[in-house]
């Protein structure tokens, strides 16, 4: 089969289209014929090996432990391993795995669910990581409820575009912060208010919010606290914008400590991958409350360009590789 493979850490030019052996599903795994693969920030981190902290988490100190890139997938089950009970051959599925920039990939059964019936493969492929992260940020970390005022920073990006819609589905009044290029997208997603950060500073507008979801990763905690209600909750999603060592994750890791000295709650979120939240996301999608925003579709051979475009930060929603 054909796949996008890398032998060393580096920029997009280390990604190469090659022929490699077809994978074989192990216990509780399914073999998926890939129709589309989402491009998320994690792809860039694993490609470059930065921040260096992730290499200590088992991804490979000197070179990638798993050479095929891509983590979000949508496709059709071609074979099942021993112990698989929820899925069968022929099922259309979406979920997470290791190595989705390929014609076939093996995925754990507990990280895959039936694809939403009203989505194309390309739309479904961008939802497993970004959509589930947004769901966990809004529902679990933020505990958003009807009538709350929610501020979403980075509302036009991968996680942010889902978070706007999930927060609206939970009954919140949503304000999205984004660049000029993404204003119309964020408005179309249902945001009640949109702030173009290149023109206006939300921290000086005099508004306060019950929940803030920061997906952009570069604003000081002191700035965010000023626009949070006295008992409000700040959720820092992932880590971007830092140096090569920790990559900004220190904000997420340090946030809970700051809560010890304040009535406000500060939480760092690192999402967990599981089929139950994929199913919960599917319910929102099939109900029409959430619709993945796909900016561009690339062919498999164009995957390096897709990763570069995603990392530039100009993507409205998500980009996807179609196989």
Mutual orientation of helices 275-286 and 158-169 as an angle, nearest 10°? 70
Mean of per-residue pLDDT scores for the chain: 92
Pair of tokens at residue 103? 């014609």
Check pLDDT > 70 for residue 59. Answer: no
Alpha-carbon dihedral 149, 139, 176, 204, rounded to 10 degrees:
50
> What is the separation, in whole angstroms, between the first and last Cα of the chain?
11
Check pLDDT > 50 for residue 118. Answer: yes
Burial 265-295 (b: 16+ CB within 10 A, else e): bbbbbebebbbebbebbbebbeeeebbbbbb
E strand or H helix that includes residue 206: none
E strand or H helix that includes residue 239: none
Coil, strand or helix at 280? helix
Coil, strand or helix at 254? helix
Would you say 163 and 235 are in contact if contact means Cβ atoms under 8 Å apart?
no
Check pLDDT > 60 for residue 138. Answer: yes
Mean pLDDT calculated for residue range 234-255: 63
CA-nearest of 309, 311, 316, 310 to 295 is 316
Q: What angle do CA 121, 87, 96 make, to 5 degrees?
A: 50
Q: What is the pLDDT of residue 219?
A: 81
Give the tens place of pLDDT for each residue, 1-52. Answer: 999 999 999 999 999 999 999 999 999 999 999 999 999 998 988 998 876 6
Check pLDDT > 90 for residue 257. Answer: no
């Amino acid at each position: 089969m054909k796949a996008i493979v890398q032998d060393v850490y580096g920029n997009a030019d280390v990604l190469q289209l090659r022929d490699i052996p077809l994978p074989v599903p192990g216990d509780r795994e399914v073999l998926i014929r890939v129709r589309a693969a989402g491009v998320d920030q994690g792809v860039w981190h694993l490609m470059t090996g930065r921040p260096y902290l992730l290499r200590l988490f088992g991804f490979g100190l000197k070179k990638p432990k798993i050479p095929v890139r891509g983590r979000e997938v949508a496709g059709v089950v071609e074979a099942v391993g021993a112990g698989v009970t929820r899925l069968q051959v022929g099922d259309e599925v979406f979920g997470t795995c290791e190595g989705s920039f390929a014609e076939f990939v093996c995925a754990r059964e507990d990280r895959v669910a039936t694809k939403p019936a009203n989505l194309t493969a390309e739309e479904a492929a961008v939802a497993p990581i970004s959509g589930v992260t947004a769901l966990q940020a809004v529902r679990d970390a933020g505990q958003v409820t009807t009538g709350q005022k929610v501020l979403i920073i980075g509302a036009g990006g991968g996680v942010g575009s889902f978070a706007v819609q999930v927060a609206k589905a939970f009954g919140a009044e949503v304000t999205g912060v984004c660049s000029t290029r993404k204003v119309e997208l964020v408005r179309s997603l249902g945001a009640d208010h949109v702030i173009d950060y290149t023109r206006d500073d939300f921290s000086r507008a005099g508004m306060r919010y019950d929940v803030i979801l920061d997906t952009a990763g570069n604003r000081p905690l002191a700035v965010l606290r000023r626009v949070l209600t006295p008992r409000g909750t700040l959720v820092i999603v992932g880590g971007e914008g830092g140096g090569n060592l920790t990559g900004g994750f220190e904000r997420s890791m340090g946030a809970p400590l700051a809560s010890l000295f304040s009535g406000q709650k500060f939480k760092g979120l690192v999402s967990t991958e599981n089929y139950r939240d994929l199913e919960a996301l599917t319910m929102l999608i099939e109900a029409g409350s959430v619709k993945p925003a796909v900016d561009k579709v690339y062919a498999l051979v164009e995957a390096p360009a897709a990763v570069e475009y995603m990392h530039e930060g100009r993507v409205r929603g998500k980009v996807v590789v179609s196989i």
